[in-house]
Amino acid sequence: MSALDLLPNRRVEGWRWSDLRAAVGSQLPPIASRPERVPPEHDLWSQLGAEIIFADGRIACWPEEEVSGIRVFSKTASEAGPPRSSPNVAVGQFAADSIEDDWFPIVGSTAQHGVVVVRHVGGSTPQMRAARLGVQVGAGESLTLIEVFENELAGVTNTLMECYVEPGGRLNRLVVQPQTEPATIVCTGQAFLGEKSEFNQFVFSAGGKLSRIQTDVIAGAGAKARLNGVCLAAAGLHADQTSHVTLEAEGGEVRQLVRSVARRKGRAVFQGKFLVERTAQKTDAQMEHNALLLEDGAEVFAKPELEIYADDVQCSHGNTCGQLDEQAVFYARSRGLPEAEARAMLTRAFLIEAIPDWLDEALHAEIEARVSAWLEAG
Amino acid sequence: MLDLKDLHARINPEDGEPSEIIKGLSLSVPAGEVHAIMGPNGSGKSTLSYVLSGRPNYEVTSGTATLDGEDLTGLEPEERAAKGMFLSFQYPVEIPGVPVMTFVRSAMNAQRKARGEAEISAPDFLKKAKQISALLKINPDMLKRPLNVGFSGGEKKRIEIFQMMMLEPRLMILDETDSGLDIDALRIVAEGVNALRSPERSMLVITHYQRLLDYIKPDKVHVLSAGRIIASGGPELALELEKSGYDGVIAGAKSGSAA
């Protein structure tokens, strides 16, 4: 069996609207050699915290000493073992099996809140990039992780992030995946949440040949997860945000809000599932996905799911899919806004409601600017 | 200012047959005057306001509508706004995610751009907003909230007038601005509207009831029925309507003895 056959196609449940096998084509691109130079700093991201850079999937830069509330240690694949099982881990497992370096970084928190920026840097030459990263947030400690896929990532990029949050710890994770036309990107995140820990995630994804940002959360007693996302599919592009939250013990709380927008010939996919085990009484979980089809010929596929085995829980899911409110468009035009501007304003407002408050002002502004730029690009 | 001559207009719904609502309406509102349009439900009052402001699917089929001699019918809603037209909606629309201030500033700057004027500076805009919100007794916090989301009926109407005063239009169409307002709010809103009265500005006040006209004194009152003006007169016509109802005036018009 070739490596290609490990990739799911549309006949695999969960990949029906995101045919990874078809996107990759007849063969996997070659694996890059070790980069000779550290990629240049990024105007924004490099300023925000300690940096880990994967250049074409190879580790190019990491903080060697403890800096500003984080430490990075390394493990070989055999030391670490395979990633823990979770519903969407298969392609992530493939990433773990494909890493070319003989070690991978594990980020740890310290008592001081730290910010770690992980940049996936590539180029216009099609490459196979696989990256694995571990995150450990200690009891009562906190960490912010910013994972950025940079604009040029031709070929296939497959990343796995395994996050362990100990009791009372807090992990904030921001994923930024800009529009990258020739790129096939699968980004798998796992969050294992200890008792009363907190996981806040925001995913901005603007699609590619195929883009799938998938997150598995396994929540312990009283753990809180907030999963938000903005999912944008421009003409000819595909953007998929998939998540699976397993509530294993009592008193977990989940809030999810994802907003998707697709243009003509763009495809946005949302798959969200909450699995509430029999042991997870008093779970309080709400899922909401809203999508806008901006033009005829846009596609949105949504599959919100609740699977509940406990009898004393509050769970809900909402899913809407539609077009802009024409009354609102006319109202704005009657006040003087040109039609295109009125539509952009309303779409922008729809999207930015999903940007969570835990992002600081600068990051909030950055995401808003990216939403605006996407809308202006038409 | 506004001249309508034998105007016919219909609504073309997305799903359904077109229906003619305005059937030969003629009306002239000179600069500086306030005209009231009264009429029973279904007479075409709101349709007229939408036709004038250029709502999609509201189509003028014959006759003319001009603003200062310029044909309105070919203009987009935003072009009409830039030329100074403002419609205060009967049912203002909620716009989640866009604060009132952001909305008004975007609208103001879009209009200015269309007229070839420079954008308003942030301090000037804030100063003006502060003055006008104080006049209309609008809590400044409200201006930071998403437009009309969760606002009461009365608050929405106040915000309509706030926008109108900010944008300083030349032709104002008030579509049932009195509905949803209690008597105190009505007085405040009317004060705002009256503050805008000037020799260069005209108003078309669409209303069911005489009540609003106690506060916004019209120069002329027109009665709209079945898509046409069937009677015109001074402010006393509104009082007569209040007393004898629309039926009497409509019957009178049919027998050829309009007031």
Mutate to test the interface with B, among A323, A333, A345, A350 (most CBs of B within 10 A): A333
Residues 6+ apart with CB under 8 A from A123: A56, A152, A154
SS3 content of chain A, % helix, strand, coil (to 5): 15, 45, 35
% of chain B with per-residue pLDDT over 70:
97
Asked if residue A249 lies in contact with residue A57, where contact means CB atoms within 8 angstroms, the answer is no
Contact B106 A334 (CB under 8 A): no
What mean pLDDT do residues A252-278 have? 98
Using CA of residue B218, residue B224, residue B229, residue B232, what is the dihedral sign? negative
Asked if the model's pLDDT at residue B257 lies above 50, the reply is no
Q: pTM here?
A: 0.91
Q: How far apart are CA A71 and CA A65, in angstroms?
A: 7
Which of A134, A125, A126, A4 is CA-nearest to residue A59?
A134
The per-residue pLDDT for range B19-66, each reduced to its tens digit, is 999 999 999 999 999 999 998 888 899 999 999 999 999 999 999 999
Burial class (CB in 10 A: 0-12, 13-18, 19+), B34: buried
The per-residue pLDDT for range A278-319, each reduced to its tens digit, is 999 999 999 999 999 999 999 999 999 999 999 999 999 999
How close A257 gets to chain B, by Cα (Å)?
15
The per-residue pLDDT for range B78-117, each reduced to its tens digit, is 999 999 999 999 999 999 889 999 999 999 999 999 999 9
Contact A327 B93 (CB under 8 A): yes
Look up residue B186 and give its amino acid: L
**Exposure letters B4-18 (e unless 16+ CB within 10 A, then b):** beebbbbbeeeeeee
The per-residue pLDDT for range A86-135, each reduced to its tens digit, is 999 999 999 999 999 999 999 998 878 889 999 999 999 999 999 999 99
What mean pLDDT do residues B121-132 have? 96
Mutate to test the interface with B, among A257, A326, A331, A368 (most CBs of B within 10 A): A331
Highest mean pLDDT among A152-156, B175-179, B233-237, B246-250: A152-156
Highest mean pLDDT among A189-193, A322-326, B36-40: A189-193
How close B244 gets to chain A, by Cα (Å)?
36
How close A339 gets to chain B, by Cα (Å)?
8
Contact A349 B95 (CB under 8 A): yes
Asked if residue A133 lies in contact with residue A162, where contact means CB atoms within 8 angstroms, the answer is yes
Question: Hey, is the C-beta of B55 within 8 angstroms of any chain A C-beta?
Answer: yes
ipTM: 0.94
Question: Hey, is the C-beta of A309 within 8 angstroms of any chain B C-beta?
Answer: no
Structure letter (DSSP) for residue A249: S
Within 8 A of A335 by CB-CB distance, chain B residues are 81, 86, 103-104, 107, 163, 167
* β pairing state of B34-38 and B202-207: parallel
List all residues of chain B from 159 to 178 with a beta carbon under 8 Å from chain A: 163, 167
Asked if residue A347 lies in contact with residue A374, where contact means CB atoms within 8 angstroms, the answer is no
Which of A253, A221, A259 is CA-nearest to residue A350?
A259
User: How does residue A69 score in pLDDT terms, banded at 50, 70 and 90?
Assistant: low
List all residues of chain A from 334 to 353 with a beta carbon under 8 Å from chain B: 334-339, 341-342, 345-346, 348-350, 352-353
How close A333 gets to chain B, by Cα (Å)?
5
Q: How far apart are CA A346 and CA B236, in angstroms?
A: 45
Which of B164, B173, B188, B225 is CA-nearest to residue B36?
B173
Within 8 A of B92 by CB-CB distance, chain A residues are 331
Q: Report the residue of chain B nearest A340, measured CA to CA.
A: B78
Question: Out of B53, B94, B96, whose CB is closest to A334?
Answer: B53
Asked if residue B111 lies in contact with residue B84, where contact means CB atoms within 8 angstroms, the answer is no
Which of A98, A103, A121 is CA-nearest to residue A35?
A121
User: How does residue A6 score in pLDDT terms, banded at 50, 70 and 90?
Assistant: confident
Q: How much is the pLDDT for A1?
A: 60
Asked if residue B120 lies in contact with residue B109, where contact means CB atoms within 8 angstroms, the answer is yes
User: How does residue A276 score in pLDDT terms, banded at 50, 70 and 90?
Assistant: very high
Within 8 A of B81 by CB-CB distance, chain A residues are 333-336
How close B137 gets to chain A, by Cα (Å)?
22
Contact B103 A353 (CB under 8 A): no
Q: Report the residue of chain A nearest B53, measured CA to CA.
A: A334
The pair of three-digit structure tokens given for residue B33, joined into one six-digit string: 């005057």
Mean pLDDT over all residues of chain B?
Answer: 91
Q: How much is the pLDDT for A67?
A: 64
Residues 6+ apart with CB under 8 A from B47: B9, B11, B21, B22, B58, B227
Q: Let me know the angle formed at the C-alpha of B218 by B215 and B220, rounded to the nearest 5 degrees.
A: 160
How close B115 gets to chain A, by Cα (Å)?
11
Question: Out of A338, A341, A349, whose CB is closest to B98?
Answer: A349
What is the residue-wise DSSP string for B119-144?
PPPHHHHHHHHHHHHHHTT--GGGGG
User: How does residue B259 score in pLDDT terms, banded at 50, 70 and 90?
Assistant: very low
Q: How far apart are CA B11 and CA B48, in angstroms?
A: 11
Which of A206, A197, A210, A257 is CA-nearest to residue A234?
A206
Q: How much is the pLDDT for B47?
A: 93
Mutate to test the interface with A, among B85, B88, B98 (most CBs of A within 10 A): B98
Q: Report the residue of chain A nearest B77, measured CA to CA.
A: A334
Which of B25, B34, B19 is CA-nearest to residue B3?
B25
Q: How much is the pLDDT for A65?
A: 65
Question: Hey, is the C-beta of A22 within 8 angstroms of any chain B C-beta?
Answer: no
How close A327 gets to chain B, by Cα (Å)?
7
Q: How far apart are CA A58 and CA B75, in angstroms?
A: 59
Question: Out of B81, B94, B98, whose CB is closest to A336?
Answer: B81
Asked if the model's pLDDT at residue B255 lies above 90, the reply is no
Q: How much is the pLDDT for B178?
A: 86
What is the residue-wise DSSP string for A121-160?
E--SS-EEEEEEEEEEE-TT-EEEEEEEE-S---EEEEEE
Q: How much is the pLDDT for B258?
A: 42
Residues 6+ apart with CB under 8 A from A256: A226, A227, A228, A243, A245, A272, A286, A287, A288, A289
Q: How far apart are CA B42 and CA B44, in angstroms?
A: 5
Please state whether B245 falls in left (phi above 0), alpha (psi between -120 and 50) or beta.
Answer: left
* β pairing state of B2-11 and B19-29: antiparallel
How close A353 gets to chain B, by Cα (Å)?
6
Within 8 A of A338 by CB-CB distance, chain B residues are 76, 78, 110, 114
Mutate to test the interface with B, among A335, A348, A350, A367 (most CBs of B within 10 A): A335
B257/B160: higher pLDDT: B160
Q: How much is the pLDDT for B183?
A: 86
Question: Hey, is the C-beta of B119 within 8 angstroms of any chain A C-beta?
Answer: no
User: How does residue A70 score in pLDDT terms, banded at 50, 70 and 90?
Assistant: confident
Task: Look at the block and give the residue holding tokens 């995140």.
Answer: A189
The pair of three-digit structure tokens given for residue A239, joined into one six-digit string: 């953007």
A297/B185: higher pLDDT: A297
Mutate to test the interface with B, among A330, A346, A348, A368 (most CBs of B within 10 A): A330
Asked if the model's pLDDT at residue B249 lies above 80, the reply is no
Q: Helices B183-195 and B122-135 meet at what angle, rounded to 10?
A: 130
Q: How much is the pLDDT for B254?
A: 64
Please tell me the least confidently modeled range out of A110-114, A236-240, A316-320, B213-217. A110-114
What mean pLDDT do residues A150-174 have? 96
Contact B103 A346 (CB under 8 A): no
